[in-house]
Structure 1
Amino acid sequence: MASRITAKGLAEATPAARDRYVDLLRVASLGTVVLGHWLMAAVTVAEGDRRVEMGNLLAVQPGLQVLTWVLQVMPVFFFVGGFSHALSYRSLARRTQGPVYAVFLRGRLQRLLRPTGVFVAVWGGGALVVQAIGGEGETAGVAARLVTQPLWFIGIYLAMVAFTPPLLRLHQRYGWAAFAALVAAAAAVDVLRFVAGVPYAEFLNFAFVWLAVHQLGFLRADGRLRRPALLAGGGLAGAVALVGLGPYPLSMVGMPGERISNMAPPTLALLCHGMWLVGAVELLRGPGTRLVARPRAWRAVVAANGIAMTAFLWHLTAMLAVYAALLAAGVTPPVPASTAWWAQAPLRLAAAAVVTALLVTVFRRAERPPATGPTATRRLGGPVAAAGVTLALLGVLGLSLVGFGGLWHGHTALLVAVPVTAPAAVLMTVGGWGLVELAARVRAGHDARHGMLEE
């Protein structure tokens, strides 16, 4: 049974032709994001009313923002996603007769939305109970909104899944020109935004910027990233020029209160940053490949891949739990970025890691791919699957914005220009997932072992 498969067994069963370095990049990029979120949290307690405030270390110490040019590694994860999606879609097309789009979407949504669904159910249910009994104070409300913010990543990733088949066809026909077209589109959007002042145009770069990075994964899958130094150098030079001469901020992550963000919506500067990072990790491919060739290191990577999504979903919950425990014990956090704050940082990070490990132990089962066989579900086709994944990704993005605060009061947030509530976002996600399930007909011979290793 799939539940009995161990990391050691999976590692030993790894095909010789598998690109293990890609798996290492996936784990390392998510791990860096988690560590960055833990470290950037700047919790303070007001002296007068003892009100707890959640800030950002990069706002307290702006000089540290330059570190985001190395530590903002989400583009690497999306690059790895492009590589994996290209291989997976082609493999599925070879093994499946007829259209495969709905089947491809179904497999990806299961891997992403099963652990996400558990997270939403636990946090949403808990928030409803707390708010029903009148226990939601200002601090609890901030926490209920904060924990959903990383869900934006899942929404964007679902968009990449949805666009994989058509963009893969463009890649197969045009190669680097398809990537260049996405870069040009991202640049055009920034011109419309900053020069022409066209309202809402900037939101198009949620697609163009991240899909361009994703497209680099297609090129990697076909062995066409032959000059990583040129990609890294060009991307870095472009980012430096745009930040130095244009309206783009230094930080490659979002900052509280900033008028312009490189992240939300993404900018051409962030795309150049992504190109620099992709080129850089490709330059490290040799030593990275040698590292994961070692059995012990590869077992660690396989084990981490099996829990990565669960850890990502729950890592902010763990961080909040650590700070809540400190405050409950009467420990006032030091002033952010002070000597005492930095001295305590290793202990806070270690505590957050321990709590995350406990949460992973409880919730990791949802991340295991289900061992499904053939069903009698009617295949309704690609258009229904496309509508379903669109509904699901909009629901996840909406939930990332609105959070779980003010559920009984109908708290809303703007998704582009449309107000959305948490219940509506959840219904959109579940409804979209259901449409994809209806559109796909699962075939016999699903291999849980292959699924756990695939992504």
Structure 2
Amino acid sequence: MGASASEIAAATPPARDRYVDLLRVVSLGTVIAGHWLMAAVSGDGIGNLLAIVPPLQVLTWALQVMPVFFFVGGFSHALSYRSLARKTDGPVYAVFLRARLQRLLRPTLVFVAVWTAGALAAQLLGAGGGRLSGAAFRLVTQPLWFIGIYLAMVAFTPPLLRLHERYGWAAFGALAGAAAAVDLLRFAGGVPYAEFLNFAFVWLAVHQLGFLRADGRIRRPGALAAAGLAGAIALVAYGPYPLSMVGMPGEKVSNMAPPTLALLAHGIWLVGAVELLRVPAAALLARPRVWHGVVAANGVAMTAFLWHLTAMLAVYAAQLALGIALPEPAAAAWWAQAPVRFLAAAALTCVLVGAFRRFEAPGVAGAPRPVSVPVPAGGSGPRAAAGITLCLFGVLGLSVTGLGGLLDGHSATLIALPVTAPAAIAMAIGGWLLVERSGTSRRVRLRG
């Protein structure tokens, strides 16, 4: 059974790095707020506010905080893998993958199942072909790219952690250098498909910074932030990179899809900046009420991330159903309605979190603890590797296909290959089952 947030907060060991938990919550919360701000819904469909008002794109230098989440992921993965290595009887890779995927994939697959059922029902009833509904079925799965990339980070943690332990900053430098080389091949050499390599090199470099933090090797965060910011400014000012650190509709070059060296520089400056706030944040997190709030938010953060666009779309749908006109995005009336829409979307997100949080943290909060605990034993590494590969391609496939036209064979291109939503769902489920069956454990009876 699960423990309540109060129990977890009270049992937190003094040595725990609470700031990492805060960064995880704040980064996902910032992404959610950014998505609510950027979604510009009108009678013509769903657009992007930053494309409508280009000067606002500078806000992405503060709102694009996914690098912070991946940085925190690197820190957590290093600690988790090392802890499992000390406790596991046999090969640790399969056990590590299974442990990291359980909390991530269960709520994701539930989200996909609910929306797939809705998309099928809408298509069978003839209600899925409108501009708004069609855009909604595409939009809700787009954030799943983040989960697909995170799965790749989990998969690559063991080998990259070994490289970190041997080479330290040089391992990060090699990944950053590879990202720069890919951009040279892309922009100077015109090599087709080379750019897609930076989905790995850019994000794994940010992830590698988390390993360095886990070993206390980020000792000059101010210099790191300054170097990253200067690099990002120079690349955008003098290179082929756009101002926005998120993708814009119709743009020839995106800093996000695929990631670029400019986005890596942006990530470096963000990592340095958040590390500069580490000491003052620690004093704040020592307060019991603040820490309790962080613990509670961490327990539902992934659920909130998955369902926040659903909540926003429901607010717009309710507005249309009530006959309230949708003003032109960025018009004065649109901005006037924005605070109300935000509050309504936040309230509805809380409702959805209450309904689906059980899949992120199974068990009844506050219930008695079990009298036995699992002790991990080695599992099948190759099976786990195959499973997580299927998972990440399935989730990434869903992020590009959306859930519209499920019965029409609608497909989209993932890197160079066409993929349909049903195939992507099958890959994700099949991969998860492979990982689940690759890791084993035995239970040991506790005394008392």
Does the pair score TM above 0.5? yes
Which residue of the partner structure matches residue 352 of structure 1? Answer: 345
Which residue of the partner structure matches residue 433 of structure 1? Answer: 432
1:9 is paired with a residue of what secondary structure? Answer: helix
2:256 is paired with a residue of what secondary structure? Answer: coil
Partner deviation per Cα, 1:187-228 (whole Å, 9 max, x = no partner): 000001000000000000000000000000000000000000
Which residue of the partner structure matches residue 271 of structure 2? Answer: 278
Which residue of the partner structure matches residue 30 of structure 2? Answer: 32
Task: Pick which of 308-317 and 132-141 moved more.
Answer: 132-141
Which residue of the partner structure matches residue 118 of structure 2? Answer: 126
* Rounded Cα–Cα distance in structure 2 between residues aligned with 1:404 and 1:296: 41
The alignment yields a C-alpha RMSD, in angstroms, of: 1.7
Is structure 2 residue 127 aligned with structure 1 residue 135? Answer: yes
Q: In 2, are the aligned partners of 1:402 and 1:422 still within 8 Å (CA)? A: yes
* Rounded Cα–Cα distance in structure 1 between residues aligned with 2:153 and 2:210: 11
* Rounded Cα–Cα distance in structure 2 between residues aligned with 1:302 and 1:234: 33
Q: In 2, are the aligned partners of 1:378 and 1:439 still within 8 Å (CA)? A: no
Q: In 1, are the aligned partners of 2:92 and 2:378 still within 8 Å (CA)? A: no
Structure 2 residue corresponding to 1:70, chosen from 62, 84, 92: 62
Which residue of the partner structure matches residue 44 of structure 1? Answer: 42
* Rounded Cα–Cα distance in structure 2 between residues aligned with 1:362 and 1:73: 27
Which residue of the partner structure matches residue 234 of structure 2? Answer: 241
TM-score, L = length of structure 2? 0.95
1:54 is paired with a residue of what secondary structure? Answer: strand
Q: In 1, are the aligned partners of 2:95 and 2:378 still within 8 Å (CA)? A: no
Structure 1 residue corresponding to 2:163, chosen from 148, 162, 170: 170
CA shift at 1:10, angstroms?
Answer: 0.9
Number of positions where the alignment pairs a residue of Structure 1 with one of Structure 2: 438
Which residue of the partner structure matches residue 450 of structure 1? Answer: none
Which residue of the partner structure matches residue 48 of structure 1? Answer: none
Q: In 2, are the aligned partners of 1:243 and 1:250 still within 8 Å (CA)? A: yes
CA shift at 1:44, angstroms?
Answer: 1.8
* Rounded Cα–Cα distance in structure 1 between residues aligned with 2:117 and 2:226: 48
* Rounded Cα–Cα distance in structure 1 between residues aligned with 2:444 and 2:157: 24
Q: In 1, are the aligned partners of 2:172 and 2:205 still within 8 Å (CA)? A: yes
Which residue of the partner structure matches residue 381 of structure 1? Answer: 380
Listed as ranges, the matches of 1:140-289 within 5 Å are 140-289=133-282
Query: 2:399 corresponds to which letter in structure 1?
Result: S
CA shift at 1:380, angstroms?
Answer: 5.5
CA shift at 1:327, angstroms?
Answer: 1.0
Structure 2 residue corresponding to 1:334, chosen from 327, 338, 350: 327
CA shift at 1:398, angstroms?
Answer: 0.1
Q: In 1, are the aligned partners of 2:57 and 2:243 still within 8 Å (CA)? A: yes
* Rounded Cα–Cα distance in structure 1 between residues aligned with 2:321 and 2:108: 29
CA shift at 1:132, angstroms?
Answer: 1.3
* Rounded Cα–Cα distance in structure 1 between residues aligned with 2:29 and 2:379: 39
1:408 is paired with a residue of what secondary structure? Answer: helix
Partner deviation per Cα, 1:263-317 (whole Å, 9 max, x = no partner): 0000000000000000000001111111111111100000000000000000000
Query: 2:418 corresponds to which letter in structure 1?
Result: P
Is structure 2 residue 284 aligned with structure 1 residue 291? Answer: yes
TM-score, L = length of structure 1? 0.94
- Stretches of structure 1 that go unaligned for 5 or more consecutive residues are 46-51, 448-455
Q: In 2, are the aligned partners of 1:374 and 1:441 still within 8 Å (CA)? A: no
Q: In 1, are the aligned partners of 2:377 and 2:442 still within 8 Å (CA)? A: no
- 287 and 378 in structure 1: CA distance in 2 versus 1, 3 angstrom threshold: closer
* Rounded Cα–Cα distance in structure 1 between residues aligned with 2:118 and 2:326: 26
Task: Pick which of 381-390 and 83-92 moved more.
Answer: 381-390
1:443 is paired with a residue of what secondary structure? Answer: strand
CA shift at 1:434, angstroms?
Answer: 1.3
* Rounded Cα–Cα distance in structure 2 between residues aligned with 1:124 and 1:424: 13
Higher relative contact order by CA 8 Å / sep ≥ 6: 1 or 2? 2
Partner deviation per Cα, 1:231-279 (whole Å, 9 max, x = no partner): 1000001000100001000000010111100000000000000000000
Query: 2:200 corresponds to which letter in structure 1?
Result: A
* Fraction of identical pairs, as percent: 72
* Rounded Cα–Cα distance in structure 2 between residues aligned with 1:125 and 1:132: 11
Is structure 2 residue 414 aligned with structure 1 residue 421? Answer: no
Q: In 2, are the aligned partners of 1:185 and 1:208 still within 8 Å (CA)? A: yes
Partner deviation per Cα, 1:31-55 (whole Å, 9 max, x = no partner): 000000001111122xxxxxx3111
Partner deviation per Cα, 1:88-125 (whole Å, 9 max, x = no partner): 00001011121100000001111111000110110001
- 445 and 209 in structure 1: CA distance in 2 versus 1, 3 angstrom threshold: farther
